């Protein structure tokens, strides 16, 4: 079996090529017409693997290289000389195997996102030093102050009262330095955030919705639960892994960069997972029962937030003081208040759980 294949011949240490015809002999040698190259046995050349219709390259001992696109002829000659085509080429030509591969990759990616990333993220979060928490929290609060929050309008006396209650609620035997800070919520309205270093941010609008001090205390315990379980840090790390996966899959650096360590965006726009909310609810409920705080206050506050968070300032007092069953008129309107529920979803199941613990 002798083949004649047309291609481009590159001599050693030159980028210029010339048209050439390679002769693949029946005895397993490669030579050229009209060149001074001696025939070379197959065992002394390097032939690149076939990748689709990409031109193959044959590298000779003296550094010369022959490039040809007649892959089928070269494959046939290699088989004649006793060499099988590569498993990669056989794989890429098998539609069933390609289909199975796509399904397997999809399942692996799903498992990685559903179980792998959370597990690895939680492992990392639990072992990061406190200094990392402080750095991330400081940067997040600065970003929120620049783009979201406004200075608090609460009186110093009101702030001090809440701050003293918060310190009594915060865990004692812990290395975390718990503190509470106040901001006017701007466009996010009634809300509260727990930063990784133990800082809990409470907006004026959320304070305004609390009729009873124990209602606000119940929400503070919920936020402390987020800190204890390091939810915000775990959330950021999970987003970072997803960003890196996005980068690996689509190669879009800009889209990945919007997620990596974007704690302000996580806090303002994304809800915690159901798992995280349940853990914080568990913490708050246990602590409320330990210190004699009626869990019904949490349920009452969640229902009022759901009813009044979108109420305008002109009707807010009436909404706050109104009947708890009168929810339709105020909740269906539009206003400048952003629901606390947007990042802390208060569904009927959670509310019922706290009422049943009453």
The pLDDT of residue 194 is above 80 = yes
Angle among Cα 172, 178, 183 to the nearest 5 degrees reads 150
The token duo for 6 is: 């047309």
Instruction: State how far the alpha carbon of 320 is from the alpha carbons of 62, 123, 234, 313, 316, in Å.
Output: 88, 42, 35, 11, 6
Domain 3-92 class, CATH top level: mainly beta
Q: For position 153, what pLDDT does the model report?
A: 95
Tens-place pLDDT, residues 102-113? 899 889 878 877
Q: For position 256, what pLDDT does the model report?
A: 39
- Calculate the average pLDDT of the chain: 79
pLDDT category at 78 given cuts 50, 70, 90 is confident
Tens-place pLDDT, residues 115-133? 887 788 778 777 777 777 7
The token duo for 333 is: 């309107």
Angle among Cα 306, 309, 311 to the nearest 5 degrees reads 120
Q: For position 331, what pLDDT does the model report?
A: 38
Q: Are 346 and 339 a contacting pair, CB within 8 Å?
A: no
- Judge if pTM exceeds 0.85: no
Residue with more model confidence, 72 or 242: 72
Averaged pLDDT for residues 266-284:
77
Averaged pLDDT for residues 29-54:
82
Tens-place pLDDT, residues 305-351? 887 765 555 556 667 766 544 443 433 333 333 445 444 555 788 88
Tens-place pLDDT, residues 220-250? 999 999 999 988 888 877 777 655 555 455 4
The pLDDT of residue 172 is above 80 = yes
Q: For position 47, what pLDDT does the model report?
A: 87
Averaged pLDDT for residues 33-49:
82
CA-wise closest residue to 233 among 133, 160, 149:
133
Task: Say how far residue 46 (Cα) sits from the centre of its chain.
Answer: 44
pLDDT category at 215 given cuts 50, 70, 90 is very high
Burial zone of 247 (CB within 10 Å; 0-12 exposed, 13-18 middle, 19+ buried): middle
Q: Which residues contact 148 (CB under 8 A, 6 or more apart)?
A: 185, 186, 187, 188, 264, 268
Q: For position 265, what pLDDT does the model report?
A: 55
The pLDDT of residue 204 is above 50 = yes
Most confident by average pLDDT, 77-86, 116-125, 204-213: 204-213
Task: Say how far residue 192 (Cα) sits from the centre of its chain.
Answer: 22
Q: Where are the domains of the chain?
A: 3-92, 128-356
Cα–Cα distance between 207 and 153 in angstroms, integer? 11
**Residue ranges with strand state E in the chain:** 3-10, 17-24, 29-32, 40-41, 46-47, 56-59, 65-68, 150-151, 179-184, 192-194, 199-203
- Note the residue count of the chain: 358
Say what percent of the chain tops pLDDT 90.
24
């Amino acid at each position: 079996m002798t083949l004649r294949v047309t291609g481009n011949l590159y001599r050693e240490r030159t980028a210029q090529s010339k048209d050439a015809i390679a002769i693949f002999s029946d005895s397993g040698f490669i030579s050229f017409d009209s060149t001074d190259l001696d025939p070379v046995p197959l065992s002394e050349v390097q032939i690149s693997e076939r990748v689709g219709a990409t031109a193959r390259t044959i590298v000779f001992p003296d550094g010369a290289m022959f490039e040809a696109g007649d892959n089928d002829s070269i494959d046939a000659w290699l088989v004649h000389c006793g060499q099988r085509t590569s498993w990669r080429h056989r794989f890429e030509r098998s539609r069933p195997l390609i289909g199975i591969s796509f399904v397997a990759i999809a399942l692996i990616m799903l498992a990685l996102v559903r179980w792998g990333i959370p597990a690895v993220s939680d492992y990392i979060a639990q072992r990061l030093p406190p200094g990392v928490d402080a750095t991330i929290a400081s940067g997040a609060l600065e970003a929120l102050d620049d783009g979201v929050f406004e200075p608090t309008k609460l009186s110093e006396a009101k702030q001090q009262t809440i701050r003293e209650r918060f310190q009594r609620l915060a865990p004692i035997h812990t290395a975390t330095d718990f503190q509470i800070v106040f901001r006017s919520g701007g466009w996010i309205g009634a809300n509260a955030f727990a930063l990784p270093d133990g800082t809990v941010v409470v907006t004026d609008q959320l304070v305004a919705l609390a009729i009873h001090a124990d209602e606000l205390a119940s929400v503070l315990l919920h936020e402390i639960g987020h800190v204890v379980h390091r939810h915000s840090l775990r959330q950021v790390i999970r987003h970072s892994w997803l960003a890196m996966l996005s980068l690996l899959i689509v190669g879009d650096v800009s889209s990945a960069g919007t997620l990596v360590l974007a704690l302000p965006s996580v806090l303002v726009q994304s809800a915690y997972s159901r798992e995280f909310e349940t853990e914080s609810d568990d913490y708050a409920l246990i602590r409320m029962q330990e210190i004699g705080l009626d869990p019904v206050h949490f349920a009452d506050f969640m229902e009022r937030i759901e009813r009044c968070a979108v109420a305008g300032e002109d009707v807010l007092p009436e909404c706050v003081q109104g009947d708890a069953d009168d929810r339709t008129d105020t909740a269906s309107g539009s206003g400048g208040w952003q629901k606390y529920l947007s990042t802390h979803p208060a569904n009927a199941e959670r509310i019922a759980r706290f009422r049943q613990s009453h």
